[in-house]
Amino acid sequence: MQHDHKVRTLSRRSLIAGAALVPVAALAPAAPAATQSVFSAADHKTLEAFAARLVPNDELGPGAVECGALNYIDQALAGALADEKTSFLQGLAALDAYSRKTNNAAFAELPDEKKDAILTAMDTGAAEGFENARAVFARFRRLILEGMFSDPYYGGNTEFRGWDMIRYPGPRVAVGAEEQQMRTPIKPYRRSALGANNGHQS
């Protein structure tokens, strides 16, 4: 995981610069290739459509998709949360099946207001025939929020957009009194805590 992450967060420039020194074959397995996803293309579209309605991209700023929530969930289900991969994918399939049953179309193809109606039905438990719809909704929502607001080390919170959205100024090793005042903006520290030495200075 840690190795993967380091490769993935290398800047494009350093990747290109480094490529001259490293055989291409050695780089290939570490690249975030779509084929490594736990999601099929259809699953990915369904989840993306769900996430985009749960936390939309709008004039106020990026939404869940732009904050990298899908990449977080993908990595989590491939690793730390592998135990729930099957149930998560079943949830996505159930969502799509419910959409086809009630709207005669894939969830991702629906207009926004129809998607929202399905999210509401799931959230309130009104989605008839959609087993455990509330639990599925709650888990999707929870993991999407984790993806938006966790340390970028885990694949989400792209460019710290989630933390910027809520003005979380970022983990730091030591915090001064001036960084704990009310009504006073705190200068954001856009760094992952899990870089070299776990973010701690020794």
Which residues of the shown chain bind another protein in the complex (CB under 8 A)? 53-56, 58, 60-61, 63, 80, 116, 119, 123, 141-142, 145-146, 148-151, 153-154, 162-163, 165-169, 171-175, 177, 179-186, 193-194, 197-200, 202
Both structure tokens of 130: 């959609």
Closest distance to another protein from the beta carbon of 106 (Å): 21
Q: Compute the least distance from the CB of residue 122 to another protein, in Å.
A: 10
What helix, strand, coil percent values describe the chain, rounded to 5? Answer: 60, 0, 35
**CB closer to another protein, 15 vs 139:** 139
Per-residue CA distances from 2 to 8, 82, 111 (Å): 10, 17, 40
In the complex, least distance from residue 71 CB atom to another protein, rounded to whole angstroms: 14
Residue 33 or 196 having the CB closest to another protein: 196
CA separation (Å) from 24 to 9, 19, 197? 18, 7, 28
Closer CB to another protein, residue 9 or residue 181?
181
Task: Please identify which residue in the block is written with the tokens 């989840």.
Answer: 47
In the bound state with another protein, the residue whose beta carbon lies nearer, of 52 and 94, is: 52
**Length of the chain (residues):** 202
In the complex, least distance from residue 176 CB atom to another protein, rounded to whole angstroms: 8
Shortest reach from residue 39's CB to another protein, in Å: 21
Nearer to another protein (CB atom), residue 39 or residue 149: 149
DSSP state of 178: G
In angstroms, the Cα distances linking 57 to 51, 53, 157, 179 are: 10, 9, 14, 30
